[in-house]
Amino acid sequence: MKRSTLKILACPMCKAYPLRMKAFKQIWIGREEIISEGVLKCPKCARWYPIIDEIPRMLPDGMRPNYSKFVSKYGNRILK
C-alpha cells in the first residue's frame, strides 16, 4: 500500500476518517513509500485492519477472517 493512499481510506464500520497507520515493513520505490506489512487503526471505534503483502484488509466485522498468523507476528505492536 502506498503511504499516500492513507488520505483516501475510511473505516468501513464507522466511516471515521482519517485512519492511523503503523508500518512494520516498508520499501521505497523512488520517492514513494510502500507499506508491505502494517496496521491501520480507526481513531473512533478502535478497530484495526492489517496490511498484508501491500494490501489493506479492510473488511467489516462479519467478513473478517482469522488473522492469527498476523497477530502472532505483530500482536504486541498492533495495539500500541
Cβ pair 37, 27 in contact under 8 A: no
Please write the tens of the pLDDT for every residue from 7-53: 999 999 999 999 999 999 999 999 999 999 999 999 999 999 999 99
User: Is 24:37 a contact under the CB 8 Å cutoff?
Assistant: yes
Q: Which three cell numbers stand for residue 14?
A: 464507522
- Kindly report the pTM of this predicted structure: 0.90
Answer yes or no: are the C-beta atoms of 21 and 39 closer than 8 Å.
yes
**Tens-place pLDDT, residues 51-73:** 999 999 999 888 999 999 999 99
Q: Are 61 and 13 in contact (CB under 8 A)?
A: yes
Tell how far CA 6 is from the center of its chain.
Answer: 9
Question: Residue 59: beta bridge partners?
Answer: none
CA distance 59 to 66: 12
